[in-house]
Amino acid sequence: MITLNKIGKTFATAGGPLHAVSSASLTVEQGDIYGLIGFSGAGKSTLLRTINLLERPDEGTVHVDGEELTALPLRELRKRRLAIGMIFQHFNLLNNRNVYDNVSFPLEIAKVPRAERRPRIESCLEMVGLSDKAKAYPAKLSGGQKQRVAIARALAGNPKILLCDEPTSSVDPQTTGSILAALQEINRNLGITIVIVTHEMNVVKAICNKVAVMEHGRIVEKFDLREKHIVPQSPIAQYLFKNEIALEREMEASYA
């Protein structure tokens, strides 16, 4: 479904070149909920944004559904991006549009006829439990409601892939659960492949079946979370997993 091969991305800064991502390779299979985790500045969001080429890598290739996106001209790339929805950390809603029109926006950009837009918008709002907020404006919504509007907007174009950049970092812990539940339902019911960036291990453990740990722009370890025993080797992965491993051992001891 998604193959990143030796991705590299460097930014020019006042302090000199910043190597945000270095030789990162990753394979995401259809139906995965794949987590990218690491501390701030690890390169997670930059790597995520290379999947739909919002950040074009300086090195390496991006393949989606067997097609090399990095080789496409801009016009063709725009068409392929319609199959890749994206959810941002800070919602990125249009404040001068109501909920209905926010969800409509990508369909308008794609020149979908108005008559075809309505059932799709209504279906997406129903999917995220916001049918009753169609006429509300973002200023009147809670953080969790705003993020669910953003999810509905990302689903409007019938994507095969959903990229989520820290989707729960701007909401409270209680709302985090509802956002993650919505993403799980989307994955389960629609078969949409999800790649999610987070710095929170509880998010990864809640919904991901696979995870890659990033540090200083590199992928240092990858795990299949469906395996019963996970033994992280790198210091960063050991730190991120330590609470979960300790809890698992404690539970095993209690049943021994």
- Predicted local distance difference test score (pLDDT) of residue 243: 62
Residues 3 and 77 in one domain: yes
In a domain, 188, yes or no: no
pTM for this one?
0.90
Per run of 10 residues, the mean pLDDT along the chain (length 256 residues) is 96 92 97 95 95 96 95 90 90 93 92 91 93 95 92 93 91 85 93 94 92 96 88 86 56 46
Among 110, 135, 158, the domain-final residue is: 158
Number of domains the chain contains:
2
User: Do residues 78 and 2 share a domain?
Assistant: yes
Q: Is the same domain home to 73 and 107? A: no
CATH of the domain at 50: 3.40.50.300
Question: Does 78 share its domain with 90?
Answer: no
Look at residue 112 and tell me if it is in a domain.
Answer: yes
Q: Same domain, yes or no, for 27 and 43? A: yes
pLDDT of residue 238: 86
91 and 42 share one domain: no
pLDDT at res. 174: 81
Q: What is the pLDDT of residue 249?
A: 47
Residue 246 lies inside a defined structural domain of this protein: yes
pLDDT of residue 230: 83
Same domain, yes or no: 201 and 141: no
Residue 119 belongs to a domain: yes
Q: Give me the pLDDT at residue 247, please.
A: 44
Where among 158, 183, 207 does a domain terminate?
A: 158
The parent domain of residue 16 ranges over: 1-82+162-169+194-256
Asked if 62 and 96 sit in the same domain, the reply is no
DSSP states of the chain: -EEEEEEEEEEEETTEEEEEEEEEEEEE-TT-EEEEE-STTSSHHHHHHHHTTSS--SEEEEEETTEEGGGS-HHHHHHHHTTEEEE-TT----TTS-HHHHHHHHHHHTT--HHHHHHHHHHHHHHTT-GGGTT--GGGS-HHHHHHHHHHHHHTT--SEEEEESTTTTS-HHHHHHHHHHHHHHHHHH--EEEEEES-HHHHHHH-SEEEEEETTEEEEEEETTSS-----SHHHHHHHHHHHHHHHHHHHHH-
